Structure 1
Amino acid sequence: MRVLVTGGVRSGKSRHATGLLEGRDRVTVVAPGPVADGSDPDWDHRVARHRAHRPTGWDTVETVDLASAIAAAAGPVLVDCLGTWVTAILERAELWDSPVDAAHDVMDQNVAAVRESLREHDDEVVLVTNEVGYGVVPSHRSGGVFRDLLGAVNQGVAEACDEVHLVVCGRVLRL
């Protein structure tokens, strides 16, 4: 089963995604953002806060290479979150100020690799993302690039999933 869980900031989407894998002894949690090296205390705090709400037997992998992390996992996978993944890829590839087409090309390649990993992985995968229509995105150029890319990523990943769950105020709507 492949499930994409989407919703606004603080909607309860991560809690819902964790609940979908409740009862599993081992789950690989992929935190696709900057690798924890002490240089980003906000990221470190976010990962630690999420770890505190998950079973202790679940392993966390911090990486931008989402496709490889899914492929390497033995057992169920929880990816939290595609929004941080898009940001990390844009940052790593220095694409914030590039032509929009260049950013889309890089993300399209990454999404294709993730879709392939989802098809090949023989256990459950739950992916968490922000629904760009429900979040506050700055109106400057970088905000627009992020919104457009995340919307395209969400659509591309959703096509490879069996279900999409929209979470609003902790309530879940299965689409």
Structure 2
Amino acid sequence: MTTRAATTTLVTGPVRSGKSRHAEDLVALHQDVLYVATGRPSDQDDSAWAERVRAHQRRRPDSWRTLETVDLDAALAGASGPVLIDCLGTWLTGQVDLVGWEDLDRAAQHVRERSVSLVESLCRASHPVVVVTNEVGWSLVPTTPSGRLFQDELGRLNARVAEVATAVHLVVAGRVLDLSGAPVVPESLPPPTLDA
């Protein structure tokens, strides 16, 4: 029996689908939201990234606190109210950055260990948690080993979080599909039995 993260909503979807705005709407009535930004600090040489960060900041109420970190376990443990995590894709990148992209086997092992810990932290959370993530793999297959690692591990992480979340919302083209009641794909099939 899978333990449920009774307070967790997962919001997933492709780039520019509206998933971050939808996640913000889910906690908009709360004044004491902890916004956990998992992305890299704004790079002055990357004006497009800096503008994305500013756009997110402008949408958030002044009463929300912002924490930039990849230590989601600590952020969740220390939260005193609702938490919005944006997003798992940049968190995963940050985790690989910690161990390096040169040894992808080691990076994958690290990401899997941190993913298990994150899911456990979500299951312990006593405040509402909204987690934003990207759906990857609906288009081109990455041509590099590091691209395939990212795609595969984020897909696995998304499935793990969705399995324990109370609600799962897919945002596509600015529309929200509630997948909360949809069947969960088992992680692996049981071995076949032979009939006598």
Whether the TM-score (by the shorter chain) exceeds 0.5 is yes
Q: Aligned pair count?
A: 170
Q: For residues 90-169 of structure 1, what are the structure 2 equivalents within 5 Å?
A: 90-94=96-100, 96-100=101-105, 102-134=106-138, 138-169=142-173
Contact 2:38 2:70 in 1 (8 A): yes
Counterpart-to-counterpart distance in 2, 1:150 and 1:103? 13
| 2:96 maps to amino acid | L
Contact 1:8 1:168 in 2 (8 A): yes
Q: Per the alignment, in what secondary structure is the counterpart of residue 133 of structure 1?
A: coil
| 1:124 maps to amino acid | P
- Bigger Cα Rg: 2
**Residue 158 of structure 1: how far off its partner (Å):** 1.4
Contact 1:33 1:85 in 2 (8 A): yes
Of residues 22, 26, 36 in structure 2, which corresponds to 1:30? Answer: 36
**Residue 116 of structure 1: how far off its partner (Å):** 1.8
User: Which blocks of at least 5 consecutive residues in structure 1 are unaligned?
Assistant: none
Contact 2:104 2:146 in 1 (8 A): no
Q: Per the alignment, in what secondary structure is the counterpart of residue 165 of structure 2?
A: coil
Give the superposed CA RMSD.
1.7
Counterpart-to-counterpart distance in 2, 1:63 and 1:14? 18
Q: Which has the higher helix share?
A: 1
| 2:125 maps to amino acid | H
Of residues 84, 89, 111 in structure 2, which corresponds to 1:83? Answer: 89
Contact 1:7 1:134 in 2 (8 A): no
1:172 corresponds in structure 2 to: 176
Counterpart-to-counterpart distance in 1, 2:99 and 2:89? 16
| 2:29 maps to amino acid | G
Counterpart-to-counterpart distance in 2, 1:105 and 1:131? 21
| 2:127 maps to amino acid | D
